[in-house]
Amino acid sequence: MAKQLTRLPNDKIICGICSGIAQYLGWDKTVVRIIMVLIFIFTGFFPITLLYIIAYFIMPVDPSSNVIK
């Protein structure tokens, strides 16, 4: 079965986007969150916020989570 990029709502700070990306890449979620903050600082508020909102609506919820979809 191929890997799928999903949100992890059980392991979240805001929406579980960074946790899902970290799981997909096999990285530590803290590293992904730090990278997201650095991107936020160096590109400004709008670009990364827009991408984060789009990712929230596009990325499916992890099927193994116990969250109502």
pLDDT tens column, 20-47: 999 999 999 999 999 999 999 998 888 8
How far out from the chain centre does Cα 34 lie?
A: 12
Could you write out the DSSP letters of every residue in the chain? Answer: ------B-TTS-SSSSHHHHHHHHHT--HHHHHHHHHHHHHHH-HHHHHHHHHHHHHHSPBPTTS----
Positive or negative, the Cα torsion across 65, 12, 33, 29?
negative
Q: Of the given ranges (10-14, 25-29, 40-44, 65-69), which has the lowest mean pLDDT? A: 65-69
The pTM for the full model equals 0.82
Of the pLDDT bands very low, low, confident and very high (cuts 50, 70, 90), residue 68 is low
**Residue 65: half-sphere exposure toward Cβ, Cα within 13 Å:** 16
